[in-house]
Amino acid sequence: MDQVHYRTARTRAQDALIQARRMDNASWKCCDMTFDKAPGIYRHMATQHADIIEDHTEQELDLIRSKKSRPAAEDSIQRGDEFKGRRAEKYGSDPISLHCSCDPALGTVILFYAYLPINNPLALAHLHKAWSLDLNLCGKVKVATEGINATLAGASEAIRQYLDLLTVQPEFTPLQLARPAKSLSVEETTIFDKKRYDFFKPTSGCGHVFGGVISIKVVDEICPLGAPELSVYHDPSNKPGKLPPRDFHNKLKELEGREDVVVLDVRNYYESHLGHFPGAVMPPIRKFSSFRDYVDKNKEQLSGKTILSYCTGGIRCEKATSYLRKSLESEANGKETEVLMLEGGIHNYLEWIKHEGKPKDSLWLGRNYIFDARQSLGLEDPSQASQGAIISFCQQCQVPSARYVKCSGFGCHRLIVACADCSPTPAKPAGDSGICCCNDCLEMGNQLRNYSQLEPAEQASIPRVKRGICACERKRRAELGVE
């Protein structure tokens, strides 16, 4: 019996045992303890009842061996249904504020991606589910045939174990990030540790930065540009087009002010609002899949130029630069279009500034937005960096602030910069910031909230209520050139 069948049987056994402990009020009870979130009961079962899970796993294996397992359940597992669907509940979204008393120095958050062929994404997803339970990891993982995109948090030792488990998998051996079996010299150890550090981009933090939960998905693209046919690792210009932080920094200084140069921020508008490089073009896109439309509408402004692109950790630039090369190759009117990217993204640029460069010489303005409850990172000692000041302002009172809250409009997840005085209660996962992005949003949200609270029979008797487009969104679309 191979490992895939074993993991299938273990997952099925564990899910059945946990379902048996479910209460009517969407909580679970075991060992005289009540768990109101699924990760809690999963961790409890994995740590306190491993023997029971193993016994039931053997029973499930017997069913698989004898081919007596339910066809519908088998089909569901083979399709990977548990690795599809939304992370958050309907009308909900990921948490953007941190509510815990953990010492961040005891934990590690990693952010990494790899474009490389994955033969069996579903098997890798099952592995990540098992690892997350065994090591108590939280975060987000996307797996596709084109690679992996992940950001995970846990105890520092657990993260170290995860890295050792991942890097010995056959698909990941070409990265040469597995810990060598032989002893390394001091110099070799330093080189190896730096290579791992640059790739996995560790920072301090606990699992609460992801709300204490994990999301594992099997997807078509690990970074959804809407072009799964675009192969990054078959782009011959991909590797030569990557500039390490030092080279990107020098290139920005060398080409500053030239009309044939475009510094292009490929992130979303709410990210670039908190921080960006000087003179950057910042498309008002709300999601990365809109980047293609932006490029198609602005070929004339981009073709024949030297394009210096950047994003948070590099993954979006991988796809963006490949798409730019493909789209602009016949649009340059005799002028060569050179497309470059910041290797390792803003994160590695700031790390280079901290450890090898000089903070006072940093070209980065503001904060680097990240997709967890910490919201943003930056040069943590602004007194050493003339460019370290906050560049965004509270929507209400206009004082400098890099603190995001969610719009209180029901069903609206727009991020609003608000200082602690104007929105004193941090935006909890289901909380209320007390601020709306605009009056349109407030009115539409109230109508949608009232409709969603009706019984199904009542909803069926009246016209369906949907969210419209608020004034803020209309303005953004107009700037993007989309009606």
DSSP for 199-226, please give it: HH--EE--GGGGTT-EEEEE-S-SS--S
With a CB cutoff of 8 Å and minimum separation 6, the contacts of 389 are: 366, 382, 400
3-class SS of residue 185: coil
Closest alpha carbon to 175 in 200, 153, 141: 200
Which token pair is 482? 């989309």
DSSP code at position 339 = E
Question: What is the rounded CA–CA span in Å between residue 131 and residue 20?
Answer: 23
Question: What is the pTM assigned to this prediction?
Answer: 0.76
With a CB cutoff of 8 Å and minimum separation 6, the contacts of 230 are: 319, 322, 323, 326
Tell which phi-psi region holds residue 213, choosing left (phi > 0), alpha (psi between -120 and 50) or beta: beta
Give residue-wise pLDDT tens across range 61-114. 777 766 544 444 444 445 566 777 655 555 455 667 777 888 888 999 999 999
Distances (CA, A) of 412 to 10, 88, 91, 479: 39, 13, 8, 20
Residue 450 CB: number of other CB atoms within 10 A? 11
- What stretch of H or E contains 317? helix 315-328
* CB 35 within 8 Å of CB 100: no
Catalytic choice (138, 311, 317, 422) = 311
Give residue-wise pLDDT tens across range 259-289. 999 999 999 999 999 999 999 999 999 999 9
Which token pair is 171? 């698909």
| pLDDT (tens place) for every residue of the chain, 483 residues total | 466 677 778 887 787 777 767 665 567 777 777 877 777 778 788 877 887 888 778 877 777 766 544 444 444 445 566 777 655 555 455 667 777 888 888 999 999 999 999 999 999 999 999 999 989 999 999 999 999 999 999 999 999 999 999 999 999 999 999 988 888 899 999 999 999 999 999 999 988 889 888 999 999 999 999 888 888 877 777 788 999 999 999 999 999 999 999 999 999 999 999 999 999 999 999 999 999 999 999 999 999 999 999 999 999 999 999 999 988 876 556 678 999 999 999 999 999 998 887 788 899 999 999 988 889 988 865 444 444 579 999 999 999 999 999 888 888 888 999 998 988 765 444 456 788 888 988 899 899 889 888 888 888 899 998 888 889 989 998 888 865
Question: What is the rounded CA–CA span in Å between residue 141 and residue 81?
Answer: 15
Residue 311 annotated in active site: yes
Which token pair is 290? 């809109």
Which token pair is 61? 């294996």
Determine the pLDDT at residue 387. Answer: 45
Determine the pLDDT at residue 91. Answer: 46
Distances (CA, A) of 72 to 16, 68, 78, 80: 15, 12, 10, 12
- What stretch of H or E contains 3? helix 3-20
Determine the pLDDT at residue 389. Answer: 79
β-strands 147-155, 107-115: how paired? antiparallel
* CB 362 within 8 Å of CB 353: yes
* CB 376 within 8 Å of CB 275: yes
β-strands 306-310, 261-265: how paired? parallel
